[in-house]
A and B are shown apart, each in its own frame.
Chain A
Amino acid sequence: MKTDDSADLRHLWSRRDFFSLAGWALLFSVAAGSFVAFLRSMFPRVLFERGMVFKAGYPDDYTVGTMSEKYKESHGVWIARTEQGFYALLAVCTHLGCVPRWVEGENKFRCPCHGSGFYGSGINFEGPAPRALERLKIYLSHEGELLVDKSEKLLYEKGEWGESILQV
């Protein structure tokens, strides 16, 4: 029983107060938990998308000083061979994700969506693209085949391009 004169008694909880709070707390926790569970359920554990690692032939299939478009349509990757070695470029424009084109005559990539331009190295030099094209981890398998891992991205602006060259 609460009385007006006793300020001490006001901190006492009745059973009703306790269960009332417990009930609402339970309701909101269940609601919050369900919502979190819903959010998690929207990210499936298995994606039916192409595997991230693919084989790209043997080093001898590539001439030094060329940009190979062999895996551009199937995997969205360019493979370049220079004097220093191999590197793989992801064929996704860093502006908004369109697929750029390699213009052999001008030795550069151009994106059709907003006109972004990239050098053969992947560096952006014109248009709205804010970053260089992303390079991908390229390495040799035990059998000596080139393997490209699309999940391993190497970004120029993070200084990761040092690891992007595969010397053969």
Chain B
Amino acid sequence: MKHRIRDLKKFIVTSQIWNSIFRHEFSDTSRNRIKQITSNIFLHLHPPKIPEYGLKLSYTWGMGGITFLLFLVTVVTGIFLMFYYRPAGEYAYADMKYLMFDVPFGAVTRNMHRWAAHGMVICVWFHMLRVFMTGSYKSPREFNWNIGVFLLVLTLLLSFTGYLLPWDQLAIWAVTVGTNMAGAIPFLGHEGPFGAELGLTSRYDARSFLLGGTLVGPAALLRFYVFHCVFLPLLAGILMIVHFWRVRKDGGISTPRFEANNVKEDPGKEAKKVERAHVFPHLVKIEMLAALAVMIVLFVWSIKIDAPLLEMADPTITPNPSKAPWYFTGLQEMLIYFDPWIAGVVLPALMVVGLMAIPYVDINPKGNGYYTFMERRFAIVTFIFGFYVLWITLIIIGVFFRGPGWNFFWPWEAWDQHKTVAHTNVNLSYAFGIRSDFFASLFGGIVVFGYYCSAVVFYVLKRNCDWMQKLGIIRYGTVSFLFLTMMALLIKIILKLAFNIKYIWVTPWFNI
């Protein structure tokens, strides 16, 4: 019997059909291990050999790969959902119910779609953190970091457009909050600074471009569906192709540079000094196990925990509270302290710009390809502060500590729908005794101008220092502006909470 099977196997693997498909054998030689990779288009995303460092999950975390896996999961589950879901106001919600109850495995598939999407957002953040901590955005990988920033924005937009599709109360109001921020874009939104002056109306502005009308209705649903299923995935797919290709071109997984001097000289060459392992079977094995673990967790999670589906969308009833998706509650929390055009447009834009600027303002050659704290203190402290202390904390507050009326509630406190808290807020100029509008505007302008001038003062004081001369005025200007703006967020929060200050600068056109 054993002979029969062996003969059968030999017959198959020596056949013409088999050899036309598979261009490698099964022997465990170095040559064949390389052939397994190079003869397979999917595996050949990887090089045939990588430095041994690249096998360590403690170094790489595997988050980039897991993010891609979750993207594939959302694509496959998404296609399945498309067989049953119609993006029309009359059908969308009913189709969701149909999927959850009447389609075999519909509930699990829908849940997997949502949890994989949320998982993808989280993994993208971890991936970004890991790349930052290993300095893998430094030369020659600067551009790839920026491709990554675009992919981060696309991931959030994919999640946001998908959020509307269930057409329930959660969907319609979260998207109302989100798209109203588009209406607050300066110069492009009819409710933003200078929007009305430019002749923008609720029918013709950036918000109505997204919604296909003046309100979140059937036109918006169809438009978001097309964005979510066609436009954004295509764009994300193209950028992923560039992103993966650049990883290879820039020298593969970043490795510790033992000579800090040759940063620019031989970017790809340093990898050869390290011991190299075959991708097949070692990395492929690790990736397969990681993918298996992620899929198991995702399956169990999707079977046990249903994705939320509230009552059907009702434009006349606003739930209290109406929260944005969790990855945007940080921005929603900022709305307490800033006007929509700042909290929803300017600050997120500056965050993206700041992320993109990182590889170009960071001239410290240390930490490129390995973990270190002492050699990169400013970079790491600033990034961790911006990411964890500000961004993640604001999200946590928005999700767990805010209840009806966006009032503060401890997580264990029962939500009181009628809680009213007296807010007596004053503007900073008022607090300083200024009562006239003109002088209030002047005062505010002086405060903001003076705040940013501190960067100029610091430059003047430190202009002869070694590091300042290496940094140069452009990089210094960029870093100081972004840093001061980030601190301004914290300062404004403290002023509001401790002293009930509402606006720092009041003008007839905008308030900060």
Contacts and interface: CB of A to CB of B under 8 A. Distances in A.
B335 A43 contact: no
A43 B204 contact: yes
A115 B218 contact: no
Contacts of B218: 48
A48 B181 CA distance: 23
Contacts of B180: 96-97
B340 A96 contact: yes
A111 B405 CA distance: 7
A72 B315 CA distance: 11
Given A49-B214, A98-B173, A113-B406, A126 B320 contact: no
Contacts of A97: 176-177, 180, 183
B214 A47 contact: yes
A113 B406 CA distance: 6
Contact of B203 (A43, A76, A110, A112): A43
A49 to B, nearest CB: 6
B318 A112 contact: yes
Contact of A98 (B212, B322, B336, B407): B322
Interface stretch (B119-127, B418-426, B457-465): B418-426
A130 B214 CA distance: 21
A110 B422 CA distance: 12
B318 A99 contact: yes
B511 interface: yes
Contact of A95 (B217, B335, B420): B335
Contact of B208 (A43, A113, A114, A127): A43
Contacts of B421: 115
B263 interface: no
Most buried by B among A39, A42, A95, A112: A112
Contacts of B386: none
Nearest to A73: B316
B237 interface: no
B319 interface: yes
Interface string B405-430: 11100000000000011111100000
Nearest to A100: B318
B209 A112 contact: no
A97 B182 CA distance: 12
A115 B406 contact: yes
A128 interface: yes
B270 interface: no
B404 interface: yes
B11 to A, nearest CB: 58
B460 to A, nearest CB: 37
Given A47-B213, A115-B405, A96 B335 contact: yes
A44 interface: yes
A112 B319 contact: yes
Contacts of B214: 47, 49
Interface SS majority for chain B: loop
Contacts of A111: 405
Interface in A99-122: 99, 110-115, 117
B277 interface: no
A72 B316 CA distance: 8
Contacts of B52: none
B121 to A, nearest CB: 22
Contacts of A39: 209
Contacts of B306: none
A112 B320 contact: yes
B234 to A, nearest CB: 16
Most buried by B among A96, A99, A110, A115: A96
Nearest to A130: B339
Interface in A4-56: 39, 42-44, 47-49
A130 B424 CA distance: 14
Contacts of A42: 209, 212
Nearest to B184: A96
Contacts of B183: 97
A27 B218 CA distance: 36
Contact of A114 (B176, B181, B405, B420): B405
Contacts of B208: 43
Nearest to B183: A97
Given A47-B213, A99-B317, A130 B511 contact: yes
A99 B316 contact: yes
Most buried by B among A42, A72, A114, A127: A114
Nearest to A153: B202
A96 B177 contact: yes
Contacts of A96: 176-177, 180-181, 335, 340
A42 B218 CA distance: 15
A72 B317 CA distance: 10
B321 interface: yes
B318 A113 contact: yes
24 contacts: A43-B208, A43-B209, A44-B219, A47-B203, A48-B217, A48-B219, A49-B215, A76-B316, A96-B177, A96-B181, A98-B173, A98-B176, A98-B177, A99-B316, A99-B318, A111-B405, A112-B318, A112-B319, A113-B322, A113-B406, A114-B335, A114-B406, A115-B421, A115-B423
Closest 6 CB pairs of A and B: A112-B320, A115-B405, A114-B406, A97-B180, A99-B318, A98-B318
Interface of B: 173, 176-177, 180-181, 183, 203-204, 208-209, 212-215, 217-219, 316-322, 335-336, 339-340, 404-407, 420-425, 511
Given A96-B181, A97-B180, A112-B322, 17 more contacts: A44-B219, A48-B213, A48-B217, A49-B213, A73-B316, A76-B316, A96-B176, A96-B335, A97-B176, A97-B177, A98-B173, A98-B318, A99-B316, A110-B420, A113-B322, A115-B405, A126-B422
